[in-house]
Amino acid sequence: MRSIVPLSPETYERHFIHGPGRAWAETNCYVDVLVELIHALGHEPAAALAFTVSVDFEVDQWTFFKFRHEDLLEMYGMEVQELNPWLSLSQHVEEQVEGGRPVLVEMDSFYLPDTRGTAYKLAHVKSTIAVNEIDVAARHMGYFHGQGYYHVDGQDFADIFQLDGLVHERMLPPYIELVRLRPVGAGSLLERSIASLEKQLRLVPETNPFETFRTRFERDFDWLMTQPIETFHIYSFANLRQYGACYELLETYLTWLKGQGETGLDDVIAAFNEISSGAKAFQFKLARAMARKKPMELEAITAMGERWQAGVDRLKQKYLG
């Protein structure tokens, strides 16, 4: 058995970001899996969440936010590099894990038992996992995915790695990254985190993203009224869930900073909490509007934009002067 950290799904304790009481139980596959990998390696993932302050509305969707690779290296000594799949996927993963490197790889949730009830044996959905342990001969893998740590064995293992001559719908090799574990950078974690925050504040959109989102949403709304409810889930994931989950993580980050002794953050924490909860409420209203084919008020988007502006202005004033 090759493994990075000795873990068991039965005893694994997930990070509080995936604990009870969260408005958004999951964020996106890449962030969720790295939260748990960073946590399992003995680090605090909340310290690297400054990237959440610089997300934007990207013409037709909100930023698919991710941890910055430079922050992972500076804060945790985790150097992320793309892996070129020139051998079989199972061989690459096993050799990298044997070399002490976790592997981030896009897999088909159709064969991941932890997605039972949503995608497992129901739908082919691309999702990133982080492989922590693997034994190809025994057809066993331990991996981080979504909110926790899991095992996959037997036929599911063979299916997901396309062993025994199996060929599924995937025509190209998946995107793969290896994580080289290096010594942690100099300075305290708080110092490195604030340095990251200062960089991200300089990348904040010049135009309030809620203004551009409202303009696009007004255009999308008539089209959404012609669509089945299944379209709501796709649209919501690309938009409402993305910024809602992102700003809950920003609230988490600012709360962590406050816990490290940073002052003057209470109003900003409250502002992004209201945006996150507002996105959840707006999501429910959109679902009802689509089901009933009725119009909906958009003042909530404007209100979230006002809170975003106030929060960003306060952070710039405090950390950029």
Task: Please give the C-alpha separations between residue 52 and each of 250, 259, 291, in angstroms, as whole numbers.
Answer: 6, 18, 32
221 and 115 share one domain? no
Strand boundaries in the chain, DSSP class E: 2-3, 78-82, 103-108, 126-135, 140-145, 148-153, 176-181
- Overall number of domains in the chain: 2
The per-residue pLDDT for 2 is 86
Q: Is residue 65 in some structural domain?
A: no
Phi-psi region at 42: left, alpha or beta (left = phi > 0; alpha = psi -120 to 50)? left
Look at the block and give the residue holding tokens 């396309």. 162
The per-residue pLDDT for 62 is 97
Asked which of 84-88, 163-167, 196-200, 233-237 is least confident by mean pLDDT, the reply is 163-167
Return mean pLDDT, the chain: 94
The per-residue pLDDT for 166 is 57
Q: Is residue 73 in some structural domain?
A: no
Widest distance between CA atoms in the chain:
61
Q: Is residue 61 in some structural domain?
A: no
154 and 261 share one domain? no
Burial 78-98 (b: 16+ CB within 10 A, else e): bebeebebeeebbebbbebbe
Q: Half-sphere exposure (CA, 13 Å, Cβ side) for 100?
A: 6
13 and 146 share one domain? yes
Q: Tally Cβ neighbours within 10 Å of residue 190.
A: 15
The per-residue pLDDT for 233 is 92
Q: Is residue 48 in some structural domain?
A: no
87 and 232 share one domain? no
203 and 169 share one domain? no
280 and 193 share one domain? yes
Q: Is residue 137 predicted with pLDDT exceeding 70?
A: yes
Last residue of a domain, one of 159, 181, 203: 181
Last residue of a domain, one of 156, 181, 206: 181
Structural domain span for residue 304: 189-319
199 and 155 share one domain? no
Which tens digit of pLDDT belongs to each residue from 24-37? 988 999 999 999 99
Q: Give the mean model confidence (pLDDT) for residues 295-311.
A: 96
Q: Is residue 165 predicted with pLDDT exceeding 80?
A: no
The per-residue pLDDT for 186 is 76
Which tens digit of pLDDT belongs to each residue from 166-195? 555 555 678 999 999 999 877 899 999 999
DSSP code of residue 279: H
8 and 113 share one domain? yes
167 and 253 share one domain? no
Which tens digit of pLDDT belongs to each residue from 205-222? 999 999 999 999 999 999
29 and 149 share one domain? yes
12 and 156 share one domain? yes
The per-residue pLDDT for 162 is 86
Query: Which of 156, 127, 126, 128 is closest to 141 using CA atoms?
Result: 156
Query: Which of 188, 9, 157, 3 is closest to 90 using CA atoms?
Result: 157
Q: Give the mean model confidence (pLDDT) for residues 277-304.
A: 94
Q: Is residue 60 in some structural domain?
A: no
- pLDDT above 70 coverage of the chain, percent: 98
Last residue of a domain, one of 153, 181, 209: 181
Token pair for 161: 């790695």
166 and 38 share one domain? yes
Q: Give the mean model confidence (pLDDT) for residues 39-67.
A: 97
